[in-house]
Each structure stands twice: as C-alpha cells, then as structure tokens.
Amino acid sequence: MNTKFIPLSVPNFEGNERKYVDDAVVTTWVSTGGGYVTSFENAVAEYVKMPMAVATASGTSSLHLALIVSGVKENEEVIVPALTFIAAVNPVKYLHAEPVFVDCDDYLCMNPESVRDFLENHCEKRDGATYNKKTGRKVSAMMTVHVFGNICDMEKLMDLAKEYNLVVIEDATEALGSIVKEGRYAGKYAGTIGDIGCYSFNGNKIITTGGGGMLVSNHNDWAKHAKHLSTQAKSDELRFYHDEIGYNYRMTNLQAALGVAQMECLDKFIEIKERNYNYYVENIHGKNGLEILPFREDISSNRWFYSVLLKDNNMTTDQVIQGMSDDKIQTRPIWALISDLEPYKDCQRMDLSKAQYYVKRVVNIPCSTSLSLDDAKVVADRLLEITK
Ligand SMILES: *Cc1c(COP(=O)(O)O)cnc(C)c1O
C-alpha cells in the first residue's frame, strides 16, 4: 500500500523563488510596475529566440489578445481543435467570432487532414480570402494547440494556412521549451512558428507564476499592440489618454518574480520530465495492453504531460482513475470534447472520430518535476497491478 499522496502535477519551487518574491515584497514593487516583469519577458524572449515577449495575466488573456491583434473580427470563423482545454476556444467567442471544430491526430494535436477536409470540402476561396460555404462567414484563423508538450504538424498546417490565407495562432501554453529538431522549422520553439504564440504559467504548467501568460509574435507590431492593449491601451502615462478599448491583462511584479526564478529552472525541469517519461515508457509501455503515447519524433518535447492509452485493455478510464486513487495516486481523464459542451454544441464540426476514441481511452499519470524515480515506480507498479 502506498502511504504518500502522489499528485498529478504540482509546482516545484526549489530555486530562487522565495528570494525574488521576498525582494518584490520588501521593495513594495508587488503590482504591475517593477523590474521583474521586464526581466521575465526578456528571459522568455531570449529562451524561445524571439525579439520580444509580452507578459499577461493568464494564458487565456494572451490568447484573447492574440486573436484581437491578429485581426479576427465578429462573425468570422476560427478553426479550433475539439480535444483541448476550453481556454483555447472561449476567446474566439469573446470576440463574437465562431469556432469550427476539427479532429486530432495520433499525438492528440490538431489533425491537418481534418483541417484540409474543412477547407477543401466546406469552404471556397474568393478575393484572396476563404469563406465557409454553409455559413457564408469568412474563415480567418486557425488555433493550433500543442497538446501536452507535443508540437502540431506545423509544416502541413502552415502550408494550409498559406494556401487559404489564414492567420496561425499557436496555443503553446503546454509546450514552453518544446523545439522542432528536423525539417523546415528545425531550431524553432513551440509558439514561434506561426504568426503569434501564447504561453501559460498556471500552477500545473511546466513553470508557474501562480497565474500568468506570455505572448510572442513574428510580427513585431502585433506584439507591441498586444502590450498596449494589455495596459488599458494607455497612450499617455500622465494624462491618462487611451486611444482604443484596452484591458487590464498585465502580469504583476510579484508573479514575474516567481517567473524569473522558474525560468532559471526550465532546462532542469525538462530533463526531469524526460527522465520520468522514459521510466514510464520502459516500465508500462506494451504491458497489459497499455501504451504511453509518444511525442513527435522530429521534435524535442518538454514532455509536460504523460498519457497512458488503454489500448488493448478492457478497463475504463474511470476504473483506472479510481484504482489509482484508492492507492493515493492522482490521475485524470483528458478533457471532454469542447464541441460536446453546452456553449458549443451547435457549432460546426468535422468528423471527430480520433478525438472521440482518445477521450475514452487516455489517462494522464503523475508528471510533476518533484516526482522522484521511486514515486514513478509506485505509479507504474500500481497501474500494472490494477490493469492486469
Ligand atoms: C492552461 C491552458 C490554457 C490557459 O492558460 P491559463 O493560464 O490557465 O489561462 C490555454 N490552453 C491550453 C491548451 C491550456 O492547457
């Protein structure tokens, strides 16, 4: 019997977190001014090799800003994955635009064939733009989500975006540190391939600021516009002139102090994630009809979340989750399909058979960077015991 609770994914503060947060408190720079915000922006920008990065209040707010500065308008359509966290889709609705749901591939990422199906069979090109034949609406963007630290098949998705003149927004909230190794985008980090990319520093992500986000763009003016919008679109500090409708989407210095310390640990965290992933693969994959889903071969993934596929095993995800929980080990099913949820049930969707399959067969197992190999052994042993 396991005696210690093993959580799914919790923060790891073994670096300079307390030192920097204490400094922010002692100097009273706890709000949106102060040096840590700039340092954190610079650290992320440098890491992902971009000229600038814009810190925000959350991943969701950076996705909202990304859609606005991309020029997505009311009554336009955005291609989104059905299998992802809802924060990748809700901002489309904040703009009164409409999502169109597509399927995933075998890496749980947006399936280029599903996107192609929609564009080729349900859309028409007119005057350099793409229109949905059924709704008549302009299709203006695609939201590529790099699920669990994988990277989408960006070569195919970028080709489609070019052919149909769509903006590419990368939801890289789960993939900070994942990098393409081969092919056209070799050397590029998740979030830096399309037009604009977003990261999240929520408590369960690979690094955390408690809550927070970041945005990078291959169009410098878009990044600058996002920064402007995030600070209430204030154009004159002294007189409070605001030249458009902005948002209070800034990160605080207190959060950024955590972020600077966490960035110092990112490479170490990725190493630990890789070590534990390899342990799980060696000890679980291929046993009892279970598989550990792979990360794409042509990338080096941050391996943020690990997915056990109940491939040739008759247990349900609920049974597995309960069996693990009975031994104090926290696991979880993947997200319900967004296209099935109340606010989205009437939206257009392509064939979603892969997403429907994986949603019923995948369980995420503990992946914290504080997870020791001994803990990983407890997890693997228990999983094999209950799935026998
Ligand atoms: C975490 C996450 C977000 C949102 O980030 P928050 O910082 O929680 O707002 C968006 N998309 C995906 C896929 C996520 O996993």
Ligand 1 centroid–CA 121 distance in Å is 31
Q: Is 175 in the pocket of ligand 1 (CB under 6 A)?
A: no
CA–centroid distance for 69 within its chain: 19
Record the pTM: 0.97
Which atom belonging to ligand 1 lies closest to the Cα atom of 61? 9
H helix and E strand count, the chain:
12, 17
With bands split at pLDDT 50, 70 and 90, how would you rate the model's confidence at 267?
very high
Q: Which of 267, 97, 271, 60 is nearest to 171 (CA)?
A: 60
With bands split at pLDDT 50, 70 and 90, how would you rate the model's confidence at 192?
very high
pLDDT value for 3 = 82
Q: Is 6 in the pocket of ligand 1 (CB under 6 A)?
A: no
Q: Is 58 in the pocket of ligand 1 (CB under 6 A)?
A: yes
pLDDT value for 238 = 87
Sign of CA dihedral 152, 349, 365, 175: positive
Residue 57 to residues 15, 62, 164, Cα–Cα distance (Å): 23, 8, 32
Which atom belonging to ligand 1 lies closest to the Cα atom of 62? 9
Torsional class of 284: left (φ above 0), alpha (ψ -120 to 50), beta (otherwise):
alpha
Q: Which of 2, 61, 370 is nearest to 214 (CA)?
A: 61
Measured CA to CA, the distance from residue 294 to residue 281 in angstroms comes to 9
With bands split at pLDDT 50, 70 and 90, how would you rate the model's confidence at 176?
very high
Mutate to test the pocket of ligand 1, among 61, 78, 170, 173 (most ligand atoms within 8 A of CB): 173
Say yes or no to pLDDT of 30 above 80.
Answer: yes
With bands split at pLDDT 50, 70 and 90, how would you rate the model's confidence at 17?
very high
Ligand 1: residue whose CA is nearest its atom 12? 85
Share the mean pLDDT of the chain: 97
Mutate to test the pocket of ligand 1, among 200, 304, 307, 335 (most ligand atoms within 8 A of CB): 200
Q: Which of 197, 174, 193 is nearest to 184 (CA)?
A: 193
Measured CA to CA, the distance from residue 363 to residue 325 in angstroms comes to 12
In the chain, the N- to C-terminal Cα span, in Å, equals: 17
Joined tokens for residue 227: 């920064």
Which atom belonging to ligand 1 lies closest to the Cα atom of 174? 15
Q: Which residue has the tokens 């995030």?
A: 230
Which atom belonging to ligand 1 lies closest to the Cα atom of 84? 13
When pLDDT is averaged across residues 342-351 and rounded to a whole number, the result is 98
Ligand 1 centroid–CA 88 distance in Å is 7
Q: Is 206 in the pocket of ligand 1 (CB under 6 A)?
A: no
pLDDT value for 1 = 73
Per residue in 110-149, pLDDT (tens digit) is 999 999 999 999 999 999 999 999 999 999 999 999 999 9
pLDDT value for 119 = 98
Ligand 1: residue whose CA is nearest its atom 4? 59
Ligand 1: residue whose CA is nearest its atom 13? 85
With bands split at pLDDT 50, 70 and 90, how would you rate the model's confidence at 2?
confident
Joined tokens for residue 4: 């210690």
Helices (H), 176-286: 220-230, 253-263, 266-284
Ligand 1 centroid–CA 170 distance in Å is 12
Q: Is 41 in the pocket of ligand 1 (CB under 6 A)?
A: no
Following DSSP, what letter does each residue of 321-352 receive, concatenated? HHHHHTTTB--EE-PPPGGGSGGGTTS-B---
- The residues, ordered by sequence, that sit 6+ positions from 68 with a Cβ below 8 Å of its Cβ are 95, 226, 229
Q: What is the enclosing helix (H) or strand (E) of 236? A: strand 234-236
Which atom belonging to ligand 1 lies closest to the Cα atom of 213? 7
Our CA angle for 331, 334, 339, nearest 5°, is 155
Per residue in 205-248, pLDDT (tens digit) is 999 999 999 999 999 999 999 999 999 999 988 898 999 999 99
| Alpha-carbon radius of gyration of the chain | 21
Joined tokens for residue 334: 């993947």
When pLDDT is averaged across residues 189-210 and rounded to a whole number, the result is 98
Q: Is 196 helix (H, G, I), strand (E, B) or coil?
A: strand
pLDDT value for 237 = 83
Measured CA to CA, the distance from residue 322 to residue 306 in angstroms comes to 18
Which atom belonging to ligand 1 lies closest to the Cα atom of 88? 11
Beta bridge partners of residue 101, listed in sequence order = 80, 349
When pLDDT is averaged across residues 310-314 and rounded to a whole number, the result is 96
